[in-house]
Structure 1
Amino acid sequence: MERHLVTAFILLVAIVLYALGFTGSCAALIGIGGAFELWFWVRVLRPRQRPTRP
Structure 2
Amino acid sequence: MRHTRRRHTTLREYSKWYRRQYLPSLSSYTTILSILGRGLKSFSNLEKKTKKNKNREKPKL
Query: Which structure features the higher share of helix residues?
Result: 2
Tell me which of the two structures has the higher relative contact order, counting C-alpha pairs closer than 8 angstroms and 6 or more residues apart: 1
Sort the TM-score into its range (normalised by shorter chain). Answer: 0.3 to 0.5
TM-score (norm 1): 0.44
